[in-house]
Amino acid sequence: MIKQISPLLIAQFLSAFADNAILFTVIAMVLQSTNLPGWYVPALQSVFLIAFVVLAPWIGAFADHHAKSRVLISANLIKAIGAGLLLWGLEPLIAYCIVGAGAAIYSPAKYGILPELVDHNHLVKANSWIEASTILAILTGMVLGAKIADNSIQFALLTTIALFILSALISLLLPTSVRRQNNLQQSAIVIFSGQIKQFFETPLSRFAILGASLFWAAAATIRVVIIAWAPLVLMSENASEIAELTLFLAIGIIAGSASAPRLIPMEFLRRARYPAYIMGVFIALLSLAADLWTARSILFAIGACGGLFIVPINATLQELGHRSIGSGGAVAIQGFFQNVAMLAAVGAYTYAASLNLDPVTALVILGGFVFGATFWVAWHLPVNPATDVLKGDE
């Protein structure tokens, strides 16, 4: 299995590394500026997510209609263009939105190609490798990217451009087969709406979509809240210190992702609600942290619960999509809903931050929301979901 997916692992590692390096490069630009408002960083996160929502009706069909390896290449080149525009001096909100467009195109192909590379029995394990590799790229990208950016914004941007191009070249090693042909002459919005309706007909797919949306909304909000919380509570002074703190969240996700295939196989997806409950509790507890190591420990626990929660959900979505609307289409639907949720969550925090909401209070509210939303999502999943693919029972 590792041999089959190794080019994908390497290519997506480099791309994800560059994604996070460029994020913390932009954060460093903001921190080094003296005339940007406090809501600018969450606004950056929001413009990155907008592309996922706007392009959702097209990117799934595009990934399924073309060889996914070639879609990965195109997406990386778009991200490289966005980074180049940042280097050129374009307004960061516009340039980073272009990077987001590349990331939106990349996602359905990255996850949608997995069912083409491995069989059903290895899909959860392949997802755990991809998720762990992605999180490893996130933590190394944000830490190294922040350190480089604190010294030279220009060199940091040149590095990300080179990594996007290298990732595109490695993607040439992936197969070029097309497993599903879509009629691109039909209205993409009509097709996408029909796919959403079809995908929401089964309780299991609804649970997976809503669960993934909840996880990513919480993750995106924590990420932006920490940028305001760390300087206030832990006296962090630059992008590197904030990135090093976030590293423990990422390490926790790696640990949780690695444990997921053994603890929560697809046939027992309902178990995923338990780590989600615990994650909500730990998010609220983070508001009480007053020293560095307590904060690091709690962030690790939040990440571990998140990894256990999201990996089986991703695998389930890909399996259901591969057997129905196409894996690329399923990932696009997932991306649409999770990014709408992320936009709503980050947008709400951006608005609250403009009204001077205390980040400590924001963590308590977020933790309570995650716990309550998990209860609501799990409550709508029957003990024996009606599905032709998985049992979903314990």
Q: What is the pLDDT of residues 301-346, one digit of tens each?
A: 999 998 888 888 877 776 777 666 666 667 667 778 888 888 888 8
pLDDT tens-place string over residues 108-158: 788 778 777 877 667 777 877 887 788 788 778 888 888 898 889 999 999
What integer pLDDT is reported at residue 389 of this predicted model?
Answer: 44
Residues in the chain: 394
Task: Give the contacts of 179 (CB within 8 A, at least 6 positions apart).
Answer: 64, 116, 326
Q: Is the pLDDT of residue 394 over 50?
A: no
Task: Give the contacts of 69 (CB within 8 A, at least 6 positions apart).
Answer: 109, 113, 171, 172, 173, 174, 175, 176
Q: Which CATH superfamily is domain 2-172+187-379 in?
A: MFS general substrate transporter like domains (1.20.1250.20)
What integer pLDDT is reported at residue 393 of this predicted model?
Answer: 41
Helices (H), 89-122: 92-112, 114-117
Higher per-residue confidence, 386 vs 183: 183
Mean pLDDT over residues 32-59, rounded? 78
Lowest mean pLDDT among 88-92, 150-154, 226-230, 261-265: 261-265
Q: Is the pLDDT of residue 107 over 60?
A: yes
What is the rounded CA–CA span in Å between residue 384 and residue 394? 9
Lowest mean pLDDT among 3-12, 54-63, 142-151: 54-63
What's the one-letter identity of residue 361?
A: T
Using alpha carbons, select from 316, 209, 206 the residue that is nearest to residue 260: 316
Mean pLDDT over residues 41-54, rounded? 82
What's the one-letter identity of residue 314?
A: N
What is the rounded CA–CA span in Å between residue 359 and residue 348? 13
Q: Contact 240/385 with Cβ under 8 angstroms?
A: no
Domain boundaries, the chain: 2-172+187-379
Q: Contact 264/271 with Cβ under 8 angstroms?
A: yes
What integer pLDDT is reported at residue 326 of this predicted model?
Answer: 65
Buried b (16+ CB within 10 A) or exposed e, 68-91: bbbbbbbbbebbbbbbbbbbeeee
Confidence of residue 287 (pLDDT cuts 50, 70, 90): confident
Higher per-residue confidence, 219 vs 99: 99
Average pLDDT, the chain: 81
